[in-house]
């Protein structure tokens, strides 16, 4: 009878097989936005469940109002931590197809990367946790924590099924910490743990003037131009220095602690390089904060789209009947979407000229997230990542929003560890999406070490 | 041998035949914007020339870079005035066809109107002068003025051919006064002489930020949002009171004389009725001026269109790479398009935030027009109109721009009399365009009387 391998041996032994699993899963075009892929959605969910069953987990498909959830768990560990791994098996549409260098659902190896839709977002990153567990289980040792998997199929289309299911099944997925790998390292060669996300609240503002477009010669001077009125309102959202000028907007925003500012300032940002990357001559934002602080830890307001009047070539001399703007506010975790929406509405009431009508429509909203950075879980994850990547991860926040993270915190009372194995240039949501194979394997090792490290902190 | 009829008799005798001529001309679909109608353009020009030849005028078709001009003239009158009648035989496209109650090129009699594309703009109105001359000539009396006709076929597409031809043939069309009927009476039952038009200068402003759209979560706080920067610039064009805030903008604007203000104030405007017509709760504009003064005799700036980022349903969380606005300024005749364009550019330079790039594109421009209101020509036209309409015309300005009018003034040194026989609700450029038959015949009478009255002022 052969001796059971060590964890290191198992991780090495399983490498080729791990690639094969990744390829198999990526071949299934589980595009959630396109109803013609409904069968593929089912196949991708089945694939994940079968893989977890292979590992000996108790696994099931759970029907929801939308696409099924995959749930699986290892046996409870008395006195041990419970970890919930969350991820998604659905992928973005592959369009525009002609911009792909190889077919999106025929995974290709290019320059040390695997290129396919879903490679980094999220099949490849999620699979590291399944494969990390596989290596652990191959050692024959007892897993020191209980690992649960909750894998959904609607992340790219709003997570409705999971959102409805979660509050009624909090006990089933109860855990001490949620682990998610669906984002990026800080930089190439610098792994990170993300402990904070911004929230979001989306709006569309319509400013209405005359009942129909008017001739700007005949009626110019008679009525207030809705596009000009909209511009005035939008311009009133900020002071000229870039600070948001909506009254009370910063009331609930906590000042960044000197420690956190110090920690963020340690992270090198080459502003010249960032300007070149973004194609701007200078960076801009709220005064008194560094660009990382502004992107991660300060609220911002951005217009996402403007629409009014004539948009074709040449000119059409009209006073447009309507002008509208889509805009989103990124919130710090202390700010609640409801509260901010009220302040925005009140501000517009105060500044909108009476000669036009206006209407503010609310879009989606989700609060931000901020995990304790001195928690034993973060310390354990940090050690696991350092062992796998050979470099201590930095602690970062991110400017984006992951609504389900706030829901986990609210419903389960559990902090989330966002362990991104991807890179900023992985082209998630774009043609030629990729995931570096070295990061796929390092992520798997970090995951395997994580179960061990989390066991040590109990 | 029958005695020659009096002018009154001739006008009455020719009425039925006059309608027939109008119908004949309106049947020709001379749409200048559509190359498939090139043959119809030729037919419409030929029709006008033949009709003028029938009346005994020396008439010719003149080739231009575009559609032909029709030129015709009566013999010179030694010591008499020369009148140039300008008009156009081309028409707007008829789309959308399904909104017409009868085919656009099969003239229909509806409620005392003739309904067809070109009825009011401009075949019907222009024909009054040809038919007015026909009545005169039927009297056998000597015409007391020389009448020249210059009829173009590109008015609806920019008048390029005429613009190029005119400066080189100023002598051919030399005149003391230009008569144009291509606009409207002040109100139903209240004829008018338009002695002023506003000029125009058109712009498109592009504000450019990052090289491509950015994720507003990841990069919100890093760069200035181009749509917000554009809003700031647009908002800076006016003070909150509606006065234009571009430095020096009003420098060359002459104050309205007390006489002119008095005269404008005599014209009844029911502001409540105007609000209801336009669908606004209140009128708005530069403080210190009535709504007619603002529309006719004060400069205005209107945004005609806004374009930026995402315009579909729902939200897309981006910082758009570009935002743009089309805007036009209506000028008073004292303001030159070039001068104002410079001031606009200088103002944008001063207020545009340095964190974005911007580019201002110039569109078309034309100065306004202001004729002397105490001229003998206006007095003559006023008497002619009063005789035909039974009501003294009011003197008005218009807010719109007719670029060729300024060109006539510049090249020929001649004032224009704008004698509009149409009504505001004639639906020029829209489906079911109409011209009231009573106004067609009254306009013809006014034209016939005009040759007489202009003869009297020599």
Query: pLDDT tier at B139 (50, 70, 90 boundaries)?
Result: very high
Query: pLDDT tier at A2 (50, 70, 90 boundaries)?
Result: low
> What's the pLDDT score for residue A96?
84
Q: Tell me, what DSSP letter sits at residue A230?
A: H
Query: Cα A263–A269–A273 angle (5° rounding)?
Result: 175
Residues in chain B: 458
Q: What number does CATH give the domain A199-253+299-365?
A: 3.30.70.360
Q: What distances in angstroms separate CA B161 from CA A74, A458, B63, B152, B362, one per listed residue?
A: 84, 88, 9, 8, 21
**CB contact A210 to B (< 8 Å):** yes
- Listed by number, the residues of chain B in 238-257 with a beta carbon closer than 8 Å to a beta carbon of chain A are 238, 240, 242
CB B393 within 8 A of CB B191: yes
Cβ <8 Å between A223 and B400? no
Task: Break chain A into its structural domains and give their ranges.
Answer: 7-197+368-456, 199-253+299-365
Please list the alpha-helical segments (H only) found in B28-118: 38-54
**pLDDT (tens digit per residue) in B334-356:** 999 999 999 999 999 999 999 99
Q: Could you list the active site residues of A? A: 90, 155
Residue of B nearest to A361 (CA): B314
Residue of A nearest to B278 (CA): A210
Q: Report the residue from B298, B356, B363 with minimal CB separation from A315.
A: B363
Cβ <8 Å between B227 and A286? no
Cβ <8 Å between A216 and B307? no
- Listed by number, the residues of chain A in 398-427 with a beta carbon closer than 8 Å to a beta carbon of chain B are 398-401
**pLDDT (tens digit per residue) in A83-109:** 999 999 999 989 889 999 999 999 999
Fold of the B199-250+299-365 domain: Alpha-Beta Plaits (3.30.70)
Sign of CA dihedral B97, A212, A325, B314: negative
Residue of A nearest to B424 (CA): A218
Which among B305, B299, B85, B91 has a CA at the least distance from the CA of B201?
B299
* Side-chain-facing half-sphere of B395: CA atoms under 13 Å: 23
- Listed by number, the residues of chain A in 324-343 with a beta carbon closer than 8 Å to a beta carbon of chain B are 325-326, 328, 330
3-state secondary structure of A186: coil
Query: pLDDT tier at A458 (50, 70, 90 boundaries)?
Result: low
Q: Report the residue from B280, B295, B305 with minimal CB separation from A209.
A: B280
**pLDDT (tens digit per residue) in B77-119:** 999 999 999 999 999 989 889 999 999 999 999 999 999 999 9
Residue of B nearest to A281 (CA): B355
Say whether pLDDT at A11 is over 90: yes
Q: How far does the CA of residue A203 sit from the closest CA of chain B (Å)?
A: 8
Interhelix angle for B437-456 vs B123-138, to 10°? 50
Query: pLDDT tier at B298 (50, 70, 90 boundaries)?
Result: very high
Residue of B nearest to A236 (CA): B232
Q: Report the residue from B280, B318, B363 with minimal CB separation from A304.
A: B318
What is the C-alpha separation between B231 and A235, in angstroms, rounded? 6
What percent of chain B clears pLDDT 70, i.e. is strictly above it?
99
3-state secondary structure of A48: helix
Q: How many CB atoms lie within 10 A of CB A233?
A: 23
**pLDDT (tens digit per residue) in B161-216:** 999 999 999 999 999 999 999 999 999 999 999 999 999 999 999 999 999 999 99
* Side-chain-facing half-sphere of B134: CA atoms under 13 Å: 20
> With left for phi above 0 and alpha for psi between -120 and 50, is residue A337 left, alpha or beta?
alpha
**CB contact B227 to A (< 8 Å):** yes
**pLDDT (tens digit per residue) in A237-280:** 999 999 999 999 999 999 999 999 999 999 988 999 999 999 99
Between residues A313 and A175, which one has the greater pLDDT?
A175
ipTM at complex level = 0.89
CB contacts < 8 A, A to B, total 285
- Listed by number, the residues of chain A in 21-60 with a beta carbon closer than 8 Å to a beta carbon of chain B are none
Fold of the A7-197+368-456 domain: Aminopeptidase (3.40.630)
Mean pLDDT over B26-54 rounds to 97
> What's the pLDDT score for residue A313?
85
Burial class (CB in 10 A: 0-12, 13-18, 19+), A118: buried
Tell me, letter by letter, the H, E, C secondary structure of A243-296.
Answer: CECCCCCCCCCCCCCHHHHHHHHCCCCCHHHHHHHHCCCCCCCCCCCCHHHHHH
**Rg, C-alpha atoms of chain A:** 25
- Token digits of residue B370: 């202001």
Residues of chain B in contact with residue A232, where contact means CB-CB under 8 angstroms, are: 231, 235, 240
> What's the pLDDT score for residue A29?
98
What is the C-alpha separation between A203 and A198, in angstroms, rounded? 16
Q: How far does the CA of residue B33 sit from the closest CA of chain A (Å)?
A: 14
What is the C-alpha separation between A212 and A334, in angstroms, rounded? 43
- Average pLDDT value over all residues in chain A: 95
């Amino acid at each position: 009878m052969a001796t059971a391998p060590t964890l290191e041996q198992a991780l090495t032994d399983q490498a080729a097989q791990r690639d094969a699993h990744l390829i198999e899963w990526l071949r299934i075009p589980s595009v959630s936005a396109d109803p013609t892929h409904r069968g593929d959605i089912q196949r991708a969910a089945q694939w994940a469940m079968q893989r977890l069953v292979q590992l000996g987990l108790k696994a099931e498909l759970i029907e929801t109002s939308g696409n099924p959830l995959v749930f699986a768990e290892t046996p409870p560990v008395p006195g041990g931590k419970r970890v919930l791994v969350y991820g998604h098996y659905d992928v973005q549409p592959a369009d525009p197809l002609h911009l792909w260098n190889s077919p999106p659902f025929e995974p290709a190896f290019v320059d040390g990367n695997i290129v396919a839709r879903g490679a980094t977002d999220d099949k490849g990153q999620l699979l590291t946790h399944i494969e990390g567990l596989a290596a652990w289980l191959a050692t024959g040792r007892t897993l020191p924590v209980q690992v649960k998997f909750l894998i959904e199929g609607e992340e790219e289309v709003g997570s409705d099924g999971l959102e409805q299911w979660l509050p009624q099944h909090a006990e089933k997925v109860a855990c001490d910490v949620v682990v998610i790998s669906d984002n990026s390292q800080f930089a190439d060669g610098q792994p990170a743990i993300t402990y904070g996300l911004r929230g979001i609240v989306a709006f569309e503002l319509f400013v209405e003037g005359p009942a129909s477009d008017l001739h700007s010669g005949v009626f110019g001077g008679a009525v207030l131009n809705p596009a000009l009125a909209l511009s005035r309102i939008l311009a009133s959202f900020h002071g000229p220095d870039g600070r948001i000028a909506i009254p009370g907007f910063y009331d609930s925003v906590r000042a960044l602690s000197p420690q956190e500012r110090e920690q963020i300032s340690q992270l090198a940002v080459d502003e010249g390089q960032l300007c070149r990357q973004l194609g701007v001559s200078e960076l801009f934002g709220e005064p008194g904060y560094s660009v990382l602080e502004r992107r991660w830890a300060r609220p911002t307001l951005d217009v996402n789209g403007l629409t009014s009047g004539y948009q074709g070539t040449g000119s059409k001399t009209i006073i447009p009947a309507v002008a509208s703007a889509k805009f989103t506010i990124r919130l710090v975790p202390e700010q609640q979407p409801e509260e901010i929406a009220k302040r925005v509405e009140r501000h517009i009431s105060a500044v909108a000229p009476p000669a036009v009508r206006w209407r503010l429509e609310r879009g989606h909203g989700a609060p931000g997230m901020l995990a304790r950075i001195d928690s034993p879980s973060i310390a354990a994850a940090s050690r696991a990542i350092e062992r796998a990547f050979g470099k201590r991860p930095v602690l970062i926040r991110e400017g984006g929003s992951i609504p389900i993270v706030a829901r986990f915190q609210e419903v389960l009372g559990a902090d989330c560890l966002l362990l991104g194995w991807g890179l900023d240039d992985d082209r998630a949501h774009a043609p030629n999406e990729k995931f570096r194979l070295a990061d796929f394997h390092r992520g798997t090792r970090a995951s395997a070490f994580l179960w061990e490290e989390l066991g040590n902190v109990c």
